[in-house]
Structure formats: structure tokens, C-alpha cells
């Protein structure tokens, strides 16, 4: 309460939420999209434990979030006071920095240090940090002598340049490559213009990921995401831009990427050296590195295999065209209800290609990830933390108030933080929430060999989420018929222009399955890839 009251007195905006987990989600999205600090202030004890899911998600996503809490007064610690628990021991494994500040004069340097760790300016990867303060410390005064500008003023972000020798080796690899491929990650988000310039200069092909979808426009000729498997398996040079080689990329296994050589570009070691070392590793700010590569490659372009490039471009264009055409004409399921792709088609028509899209859920997220075009994209990420949709949407709308923000969520995922609609209403946050309501959880059941699976469903109620939204003060409509959808979307967008959040509860069929569901859980092929990689490593060791 002392922090809350002082923030209010200073005129600092506070968005009070219904659950601490959602507070961290909102700070996460706000930080990622605004470039400004996202701060979550949570109460002690259960407030911190509630927040831990959000902190863990930010930890995996490498999102700079500052989490602040309080604890009991120092004389009452470890004596059974209310909410007397060591927060820092709980959050240390999932934060970059965790500290209890016991001395008032240590507050300015502790805050300064926390923000530096959050942004990765302390030498590590960015991510969440945690500070808490005993209540008696919060009520004490900080000595004027230690209120130094060096701790209080904003800090310029440090950019890391590329050394000439490393740059030269990278250029030689690019120039020698016949089938070069760039894979974007977190590092591409702040390097959009430089990445596009590099792709234009070199004519290298490009794959986006959930960490950077929208950075390169969908119509760019280098983008071949619909040919992802062929591109990764056939490339002879892989260039990663601030992207970890996690399960989504088969851990970089030769079973996925063959005998490709690697250039890895990142400003943190964890995005540079995980799982596969690069033939060239460029430790630099990604946008600075890409600019330097564009200049260096401009006079000696790579000898790309034109037929390979054109084949993947044609394949990508054909698949995208078939997908878009199929979405518009997607037939209802046997239950007569709307296909999720028909829903997404109508949403795309209504909001255009420049909106911020937050995708959430299980199977519906897979439909949205493939089917939607956008300028900015957020989803639960590799932590698989469904339920982020509504809080992410609120944070995104606060960060980018001039842009349309659309949350595309399944009904199961929506339920985790549905009450945050109340937060959006109270703070006049104009976010659009589309609930694909199929009344079902879908899960994959695998046999013991984990080589194949079958999809089974668990029934949920087709609850009236539009009625819930209206009861909380938001605009809400339930849509049963595809013919009603365009009108409902226009009314929802009109409500948003007046500062009102809007929710459409769209009844979709539970019958259609995304490509992810049809092929089973994503980690099954990754386990096979990992096994193949381990076998290759054993062969290499035996040769040595």
C-alpha cells in the first residue's frame, strides 16, 4: 500500500487487475510492444505465488518485466507474520535478479540494478526481475545524499558492434551458400527495417517464428513460411537472428537441418550457443549486425540457387493462396456450426493486415497462427502458457493505443483470465476479444512408443461469454451464423472506437482440426529429431 499510494500521488498510471498472474502478463505485453518498462506490483504471499506463472512465462520469453512486492516488517520476519514467506527463494530460478531490500538507502541502486538486469544490460539475456521491501522499509526515508542522478536517470541502451574479422568470415559463408535461409527470433523484433534490407540485398529466403511474426510483411518475396519443412531440410546455410534452437526448431538437429552450416547472430549467449554452435557466431546487437552484413554483401552477392529459391517461393505462394481461398469457403462441420477458418477469414477482412493479433488456446491458436496476417503478433510462446490472451491484449492496447488489438482465443484458454474483461472496462481499454467457442478441450493421447497419437475431446459447456462480457460492462454479442459475423464485427469495432472493450462469442464446430492436431503433439517429431541427433553425436565421438 505505501508503494501504491505514492505512485498515485506522483500521477503514475496504475492498471489494477483481478489476478496477479494477469498483471504480469499485461506488463509482459506492454514491455514487449512499447519498449518501455512493464512493471507489475503484487501483494505479498499468495500475490507473489499467483504471479509466478506470469514470471515464468516472461522468463522463457525473455521479456523485460519488473515485479515489485512487499513483505512483513523486519522485526516480524520468520515469526509467523501475515504472508511471512521468503519470496526471493521462490522466484530466483525464474528471474534474472531477485532481492529483498532491507535498507532504505539501498533502494535507488537496487532499482537501477533491477532494470539493468531486466533489459539484459548487465550482460545476460533480458527477462523478469523481482524486488520486495519490508513494510517498515517502505515507510522510511531515503537519505538525500544517496539520491544520485546516476541511479535515477534513464539509461541509453548499449549497442554491440560486429568486429571486422567475424563479419568477414560471415560474409564469406553467405557468398558461398547456394541455399541460404534466415530464421527470425526475438532479436528480429527490433531489427525489422534492417532485416528487410538484408533480405532485399542478398535475396536470402526467410522463415518467421512466433517470436517475430509480422516483422517481415507477409507479401515479401523472401518469406517462405508455408514451405517451412522443405526450407529447413534443404538449406545449406542457416542464419538465426536472436533465436534459440528449442523444440520448435527441432533443437537444431541434423535430422531436421541436414548438413547445413550455421551463422548465429544474437546479443545474448543463450541465443548464440544453445544446442548447435555456429560456424560463425556474431555476438552483436542484431540490427547492427544485419546492417553491417547488408553493406558488406552489397558488392558481392551470394551465388544463390535460383531454381531452389523460385521453387520455394512458388510453393509458398500456392499454399498461401489455397489457404486464403479455403478459409473464405470453409464448410461448416457436421454439427452445422462454423469452421474456425471461416471465422478467421471474416476477422481478417474486418481488422485488416496491420492490427496487433494475440493468439491463445490450443487448436484454435494453431488455426490463427497459420491463417492470420498482422503487423505484430503475440502468443503463449514456447512455455505453452495458455490463458495469456485477454491480459496480453489489454497490455498491447495500452502500449499501442492507436492500433487495433484483436485477441483470438479458444473458449478453454479464455476461461483462465476471463474476469480481466472487468479490468478492460474499468480502464476503458478498447480491445477486441474473439472467443472461438467449440465447447471442447482437445488432447492428444499417445501410445507408449510415442510414434503416433489420436485426438480425443473433452466436453465443456458452451457458456454464454457474450452475456458475461455485457454483465461486466463490455460490448458483447453471440454469433451463431456466419452470415451474422460481418455485422457483429462492425458493431464491435464501433464500440471499441468509443473506448469500450468488445467480445464476440462465436459458435464454431469442434470437428475441424488444425494441422498441428492432425500430426499429433509437436514434441513427438522433435523427440525423433533429438534421437537422431544423439545417434549422430555418438557416431562423431566414435570416429574421434
List residues with catalytic annotation: 444
Distance CA 540, CA 48 (A): 47
In this structure, the number of other CB atoms found within 10 A of the CB of residue 264 comes to 27
Residue 480 CB partners (closer than 8 Å, separation 6+)? 337, 507
How much helix, strand and coil, in percent to the nearest 5, is found in the chain?
50, 15, 35
Q: What would the grid cell of residue 272 be?
A: 548464440
Beta bridge pairs of residue 129: 66, 97
DSSP state of 508: B
SS (H, E, C) 159-223: CCCCCHHHHHHHHHHHHHCCCEEEEECHHHCCCHHHHHHHHHHHCCEEECCCCCCCCCCCCCCCE
Starting from the edge strand earliest in sequence, which strands make up the sheet with 97-100, in order? 38-41, 65-71, 129-134, 97-100
Q: What would the grid cell of residue 269 be?
A: 549467449
In this structure, the number of other CB atoms found within 10 A of the CB of residue 537 comes to 12
Distance CA 412, CA 237 (A): 41
Alpha carbon distance, N-terminus to C-terminus of the chain = 63
Residue 80 CB partners (closer than 8 Å, separation 6+)? none
Q: How does DSSP assign 35-62, residue by residue?
A: SS-EEEE--STHHHHHHHHHHHHHHHHT
Q: Do 244 and 270 touch, CB atoms closer than 8 A?
A: yes
Give the H/E segment covering residue 216: none
Distance CA 33, CA 17 (A): 20
Residue 275 CB partners (closer than 8 Å, separation 6+)? 244, 245, 251, 252
Distance CA 479, CA 343 (A): 10
Q: Do 128 and 59 touch, CB atoms closer than 8 A?
A: yes
Q: Among 184, 206, 203, 196, which residue's Cα sits nearest to residue 266?
A: 184
Quick one: angle between helices 340-351 and 306-329, nearest 10? 100
Distance CA 308, CA 306 (A): 5
Quick one: angle between helices 20-34 and 46-61, nearest 10? 30
Amino acid at each position: 500500500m505505501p508503494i501504491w499510494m505514492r505512485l498515485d500521488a506522483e500521477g503514475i498510471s496504475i492498471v489494477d487487475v483481478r489476478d496477479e498472474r494477469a498483471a504480469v502478463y499485461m506488463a509482459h505485453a506492454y514491455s514487449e510492444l512499447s519498449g518501455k518498462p512493464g512493471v507489475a506490483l503484487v501483494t505479498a504471499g499468495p500475490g507473489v505465488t499467483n504471479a509466478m506463472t506470469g514470471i515464468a512465462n516472461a522468463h522463457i520469453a525473455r521479456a523485460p518485466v519488473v515485479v515489485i512486492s512487499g513483505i512483513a516488517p523486519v522485526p516480524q520476519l520468520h515469526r509467523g507474520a501475515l504472508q511471512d514467506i521468503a519470496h526471493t527463494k521462490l522466484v530466483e530460478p525464474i528471474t534474472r535478479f531477485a532481492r529483498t531490500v532491507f535498507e532504505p538507502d539501498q533502494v535507488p541502486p537496487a532499482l537501477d540494478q533491477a532494470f539493468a538486469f531486466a533489459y539484459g544490460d548487465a550482460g545476460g539475456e533480458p527477462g523478469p526481475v523481482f524486488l520486495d521491501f519490508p513494510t517498515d522499509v517502505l515507510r522510511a526515508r531515503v537519505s538525500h545524499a544517496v539520491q544520485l542522478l546516476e541511479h535515477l536517470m534513464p539509461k541509453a541502451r548499449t549497442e554491440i558492434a560486429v568486429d571486422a574479422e567475424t563479419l568477414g568470415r560471415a560474409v564469406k559463408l553467405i557468398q558461398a551458400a547456394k541455399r541460404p535461409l534466415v530464421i527470425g527470433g526475438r532479436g528480429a523484433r527490433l531489427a525489422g527495417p534492417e532485416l528487410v534490407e538484408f533480405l532485399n540485398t542478398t535475396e536470402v529466403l526467410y522463415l518467421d517464428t512466433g517470436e517475430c511474426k509480422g516483422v517481415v510483411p507477409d507479401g515479401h518475396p523472401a518469406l517462405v513460411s508455408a514451405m517451412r519443412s522443405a526450407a529447413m531440410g534443404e538449406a545449406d546455410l542457416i542464419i538465426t537472428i536472436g533465436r534459440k534452437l528449442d523444440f520448435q526448431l527441432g533443437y537444431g538437429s541434423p535430422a531436421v537441418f541436414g548438413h547445413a552450416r550455421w551463422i548465429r547472430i544474437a546479443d545474448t549467449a543463450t541465443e548464440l550457443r544453445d544446442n548447435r554452435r555456429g560456424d560463425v557466431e556474431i555476438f552483436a546487437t542484431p540490427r547492427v549486425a544485419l546492417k553491417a552484413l547488408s553493406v558488406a554483401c552489397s558488392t558481392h552477392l551470394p551465388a544463390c540457387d535460383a531454381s531452389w529459391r523460385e521453387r520455394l517461393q512458388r510453393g509458398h505462394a500456392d499454399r498461401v493462396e489455397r489457404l486464403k481461398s479455403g478459409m473464405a469457403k470453409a464448410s461448416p462441420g457436421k454439427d452445422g456450426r462454423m469452421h474456425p477458418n471461416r471465422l478467421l477469414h471474416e476477422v481478417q477482412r474486418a481488422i485488416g493486415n496491420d492490427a496487433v493479433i494475440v493468439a491463445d488456446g490450443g487448436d484454435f491458436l494453431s488455426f490463427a497462427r497459420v491463417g492470420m496476417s498482422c503487423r505484430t503478433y503475440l502468443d503463449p510462446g514456447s512455455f505453452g502458457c495458455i490463458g495469456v490472451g485477454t491480459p496480453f491484449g489489454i497490455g498491447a492496447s495500452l502500449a499501442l493505443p492507436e492500433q487495433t488489438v484483436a485477441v483470438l482465443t479458444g473458449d478453454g484458454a479464455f476461461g483462465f483470465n476471463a474476469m480481466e474483461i472487468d479490468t478492460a472496462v474499468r480502464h476503458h481499454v478498447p480491445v477486441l476479444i474473439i472467443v472461438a467457442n467449440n465447447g471442447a478441450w482437445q488432447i492428444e493421447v499417445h501410445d507408449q512408443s510415442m510414434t503416433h497419437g489420436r485426438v480425443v475431446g473433452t466436453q465443456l459447456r458452451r457458456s454464454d461469454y457474450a452475456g458475461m462480457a455485457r454483465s461486466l460492462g463490455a460490448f458483447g454479442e453471440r454469433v451463431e451464423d456466419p452470415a451474422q459475423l460481418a455485422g457483429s464485427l462492425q458493431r464491435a469495432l464501433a464500440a471499441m472506437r468509443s473506448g469500450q472493450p468488445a467480445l464476440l462469442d462465436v459458435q464454431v464446430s469442434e470437428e475441424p482440426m488444425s494441422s498441428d492436431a492432425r500430426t499429433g503433439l509437436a514434441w513427438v517429431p522433435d523427440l525423433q529429431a533429438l534421437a537422431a541427433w544423439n545417434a549422430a553425436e555418438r557416431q562423431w565421438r566414435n570416429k574421434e
